[in-house]
Structure 1
Amino acid sequence: MCSRRETTDSSDVKKGRSLRDKILVSFPLCDLKEEDLIQNPHFCKLLASLTKHVDQTGLSEQLKTELDQAEEKLRCQMCHWLQFESLHRGLEEMIQDHLVKKQYTDVSPEEKMFFETMEKCLLVAQCVKHLDPSSTTHQDRPPLLGLTPQHVMHLLPPEEVVQKMKKSSSTQLEQHLKRKCLSLLTYYDPELEDESETLKTMKLSQLSAQLNKDKKRAEGLKGIHQENRALLQRQSQVYISELTECIQLFETFISHHRMKVQADLDRKKVDYFEQKCVLLHQKLKSELADLQLQTYTPGTIAAHKKIRKELESEVKACKEEKQSLESKLSSFGILGEEFEALAKEYCRIQEEIKVKNWAIDEFRLYNEKL
């Protein structure tokens, strides 16, 4: 019974993981995380139901169909426009090549007449296109410089010259396009550069199929790249979570180990600094004794010690006297301003007594001299 339950639980886990993988692949642009899907199972089921109705870009089936139809219509119009645009550019490139060729080599009169006629026809057609109002321009807009398409049509070469140019233009254009296709082929496959024209022509007929094949292969690789990107994202998230747990465990181990050995380390540091202080004190005393011996004689040092001792005793007596006087002054300061006036009067009387005693002494000395 227990084994059946474990088997059921493991199958549910595998089913849930496959469902989450399917959702992550189906919505690569939503930046979803597997943890979010695990924490929100109802949201996971909602996304699983949405996968039946929307594609990877988030478009519904109906909107996707309308978008495909619009893209197909746009593609047809673009192909139609590209046909005329490639024809026009091909003719212009032929004219440019002729102008370059004319600068370096001599050309026949027929070739010169052909390209001059083509250039005039293209210029007139371009002017007519700008002067002819269409659905993309304002119908009530006045013509440019007062010109109409009929004003420039008479600039065309004679009809027989134009017809002659049209007959040979298809052959010339075909040769020009063939040269461009061969250059494209050699660019796509440089190994065919030195091959014969027959082989190049045969390879050219297979170029379109080869390009389609390469395009499909690129699209397949793009899909694989998206799947690998989603897988790498999930693996990165798992790796980051595991790495975070490892870092937390490592920090816990470091803090525990540090608390365990910190007391012993502090005690050893204290002992070291104590011994270092004792050593420095002994070294300082040794340096001081050495300096005294280098500066004074032993008798001078003994005399200095005796003088220092007497001076220290006198300083001590002065300090004691100072403390006693300060205590007396502090006791006198308690009496207030009246005692201060009496003290000043006392000081004045003492000064007068000193002056009178000095006068008496001077008078006595003067009588003794007489």
Structure 2
Amino acid sequence: MALCPHPASAPPLSVDESAEGQVLSSFPFCDLNEDDLAQNPLFARLLSTLAKQLDETGLSVQVKKELQKAEREIHLHKMTWLRSESLFRLVQELLQEYHLKKQDVQISEEDKKFYETLEQCLLVTQCSRELDPSSTTARDKPSLLGLSKQNVLSLLPPDKEIKKMKQRLVKEIEDLLKKKCFNILCFYQPDWEGESESMKTVKLSRLPEYLENESKRLESLKQRQRENTILLQKQTHCYLNKLLACINILQTLILVHRLQTQNELDRKKTQYLEAKCQIMILKIRMEMVKLQMDIYTPKKIAVHRTIRNTLESALMSEKREHESLETKLSSFEILGQDFEALVKEYSTLRQSIENKKWALQEFSQYSK
């Protein structure tokens, strides 16, 4: 196996557009574009070499051949199994119809003998398969109830009845298959249900061709869908790259231009908040003035002014009287303790006189 040369010693490679398109078409599910191949020529050469040895799914040519061979063998075994399984299901369906039909309709002896022989042969065949060791069963498996395959096969009907049953079974199977094919034909094209049996038979012979064309059309649609999926993946990749580039540009705008204007934005925001605060203060003051105007009407203000003037006049009179009394008191304080004793004696006599006046008034009231 040849070694890959070092990038420094490798000759420059030039991959033309057709080669790049061929490499990309060989690996449709790879997340690559022509720019990636142009920037990595050694990788492009590697992919071009691998494209000759691998298919679009990543399998080598040899593995692909072995896989196709295995698929053909599996298909062959599957068809063999489906053939025997279909025949078995048809026989079972015939027996089910017989058991349902005999509940309502009188069955002839010939039909009864045919179905009983068919059922007996089917049961014996199933039992013999269970008892017969094969490559799919363990050879040392103990026999069921001590029975062997020969014991079960001895329960088959006579050869004459079996031969007669087989001759009729072919016709019954053909009729049942024909009925099912007509059902499939009518399901494929419901408009053909009302046509004659001969016309249905003719169209039934062409049904494989119709189904094959339909299968090809569906396969073409699937291929187109796969191509659209690949194209969508490429466009999605391109879109994501463009989106990342736009995000980087927006990030640059945010980190550079917005930070430069952040101080100006903060100053403007501060001014706005200050103006808003002043407006709120003025609004509060306006509400207070409005409340005062609602509470204090001109009539109430005039009354309050009158009360204020009266209270101020009374206050001035009290102040003058207070000053006069303080002047007299200061003049009395000059006389000293002797005057204070006279004042106490005068107060006592004044109180005694008042008491006697009250007593005299009370006495005069009760004496009447």
If the length of structure 1 is used for normalisation, what is the TM-score? 0.68
State whether residues 31 and 237 of structure 2, in contact with CA within 8 Å, keep that contact through their aligned partners in structure 1.
Answer: no
- Does the alignment pair 1:221 with 2:215? no
Aligned equivalents of 1:176, 1:258: Cα separation in 2: 82
How far residue 128 of structure 1 moved from its aligned partner, in angstroms, is 0.6
- Does the alignment pair 1:123 with 2:120? no
Counterparts in 2 of 1:249-260, with a 5 A limit? 249=249
How far residue 131 of structure 1 moved from its aligned partner, in angstroms, is 0.7
Matching residue of 1:358 = none
SS class of match (2:120): helix
Question: Which residue identity does 2:143 align to in structure 1?
Answer: P
Counterparts in 2 of 1:225-236, with a 5 A limit? 225-236=225-236
- Work out the percentage of aligned pairs sharing the same amino acid: 43
Aligned equivalents of 1:238, 1:42: Cα separation in 2: 23
How far residue 266 of structure 1 moved from its aligned partner, in angstroms, is 4.8
Matching residue of 1:41 = 41
Aligned equivalents of 2:285, 2:200: Cα separation in 1: 102
Deviations 1:287-306 (A, max 9, x none): 44666674895678xx9xxx
How far residue 117 of structure 1 moved from its aligned partner, in angstroms, is 1.2
How far residue 175 of structure 1 moved from its aligned partner, in angstroms, is 0.5
State whether residues 181 and 204 of structure 2, in contact with CA within 8 Å, keep that contact through their aligned partners in structure 1.
Answer: yes
Deviations 1:72-92 (A, max 9, x none): 222222222222222122111
State whether residues 114 and 165 of structure 1, in contact with CA within 8 Å, keep that contact through their aligned partners in structure 2.
Answer: yes
How far residue 205 of structure 1 moved from its aligned partner, in angstroms, is 0.8
- Does the alignment pair 1:282 with 2:282? yes
Aligned equivalents of 1:204, 1:289: Cα separation in 2: 102
Aligned equivalents of 2:286, 2:89: Cα separation in 1: 102
Of stretches 170-179 and 46-55 in structure 1, the one that deviates more from structure 2 is 46-55
Q: Cα 1:284–1:69, aligned 2, differ >3 Å: closer, same or farther? A: closer
Question: Which residue identity does 1:189 align to in structure 2?
Answer: Q
Aligned equivalents of 2:26, 2:223: Cα separation in 1: 12
Aligned equivalents of 1:235, 1:287: Cα separation in 2: 65
Q: Cα 1:113–1:249, aligned 2, differ >3 Å: closer, same or farther? A: same
Counterparts in 2 of 1:174-185, with a 5 A limit? 174-185=174-185
How far residue 63 of structure 1 moved from its aligned partner, in angstroms, is 2.1
Matching residue of 1:52 = 52
Aligned equivalents of 1:152, 1:144: Cα separation in 2: 11
State whether residues 54 and 60 of structure 1, in contact with CA within 8 Å, keep that contact through their aligned partners in structure 2.
Answer: yes
* Larger Rg belongs to: 2
- Does the alignment pair 1:273 with 2:282? no
Deviations 1:139-171 (A, max 9, x none): 232211111122222322233222211111111
How far residue 49 of structure 1 moved from its aligned partner, in angstroms, is 1.1
Matching residue of 2:363 = none
State whether residues 31 and 234 of structure 2, in contact with CA within 8 Å, keep that contact through their aligned partners in structure 1.
Answer: no
State whether residues 24 and 230 of structure 1, in contact with CA within 8 Å, keep that contact through their aligned partners in structure 2.
Answer: no
Aligned equivalents of 1:287, 1:142: Cα separation in 2: 107
- Does the alignment pair 1:155 with 2:155? yes
Aligned equivalents of 1:223, 1:137: Cα separation in 2: 43
Aligned equivalents of 1:245, 1:287: Cα separation in 2: 56
Matching residue of 1:61 = 61
Q: Cα 1:117–1:157, aligned 2, differ >3 Å: closer, same or farther? A: same
Of stretches 246-255 and 133-142 in structure 1, the one that deviates more from structure 2 is 246-255
How far residue 275 of structure 1 moved from its aligned partner, in angstroms, is 3.3
Matching residue of 2:94 = 94
Aligned equivalents of 2:68, 2:274: Cα separation in 1: 87
How far residue 93 of structure 1 moved from its aligned partner, in angstroms, is 1.3
Q: Cα 1:136–1:276, aligned 2, differ >3 Å: closer, same or farther? A: closer
Matching residue of 2:344 = none
State whether residues 133 and 139 of structure 1, in contact with CA within 8 Å, keep that contact through their aligned partners in structure 2.
Answer: yes
Deviations 1:49-102 (A, max 9, x none): 111112122222222222222222222222222222221221111111222233
State whether residues 133 and 139 of structure 2, in contact with CA within 8 Å, keep that contact through their aligned partners in structure 1.
Answer: yes
Matching residue of 2:76 = 76
Q: Cα 1:146–1:250, aligned 2, differ >3 Å: closer, same or farther? A: same
Aligned equivalents of 1:226, 1:43: Cα separation in 2: 26
State whether residues 182 and 204 of structure 1, in contact with CA within 8 Å, keep that contact through their aligned partners in structure 2.
Answer: yes
SS class of match (2:106): coil
How far residue 182 of structure 1 moved from its aligned partner, in angstroms, is 1.1
Matching residue of 1:310 = none
Matching residue of 1:20 = 20
Aligned residues: 288
Q: Cα 1:86–1:286, aligned 2, differ >3 Å: closer, same or farther? A: closer
State whether residues 131 and 143 of structure 1, in contact with CA within 8 Å, keep that contact through their aligned partners in structure 2.
Answer: yes
State whether residues 25 and 227 of structure 1, in contact with CA within 8 Å, keep that contact through their aligned partners in structure 2.
Answer: no
Q: Cα 1:62–1:248, aligned 2, differ >3 Å: closer, same or farther? A: closer
Aligned equivalents of 1:202, 1:187: Cα separation in 2: 16
State whether residues 26 and 51 of structure 2, in contact with CA within 8 Å, keep that contact through their aligned partners in structure 1.
Answer: yes
Question: Which residue identity does 2:31 align to in structure 1?
Answer: L
- Does the alignment pair 1:32 with 2:31? yes
Unaligned runs of 5+ in 2: 1-12, 312-368
SS class of match (1:105): coil
State whether residues 24 and 32 of structure 1, in contact with CA within 8 Å, keep that contact through their aligned partners in structure 2.
Answer: no
Q: Cα 1:279–1:233, aligned 2, differ >3 Å: closer, same or farther? A: closer
Q: Cα 1:251–1:108, aligned 2, differ >3 Å: closer, same or farther? A: same
Aligned equivalents of 1:144, 1:36: Cα separation in 2: 69
How far residue 259 of structure 1 moved from its aligned partner, in angstroms, is 6.2
